[in-house]
Structure 1
Amino acid sequence: MEAGVETKGVVVIGTVKGDLHDIGKNLAKLMMKGKGLDVIDLGVDVAPEQFVAAANEYNADIISCSALLTTMGEMKNVVDLVKANSELSGRVKVMIGGAPVTEAFCRK
Structure 2
Amino acid sequence: MKDEYVKEIDEEIGQVTKYSDMEQYAGNFSNVYKKGTKYYSIKGINKNDYIAVEVGSGKYKKAVRESEYIFADHSNGNINEGKFADKAVNVLFIFTLGVFVIVFIVIKVKR
User: If each structure's strand is expressed as a fraction of its own residues, which one has the higher value?
Assistant: 2
- Asked whether the two chains share a fold, i.e. TM above 0.5, the reply is no
Q: TM-score, normalised by structure 1?
A: 0.22
Structure richer in helix, relative to its length: 1
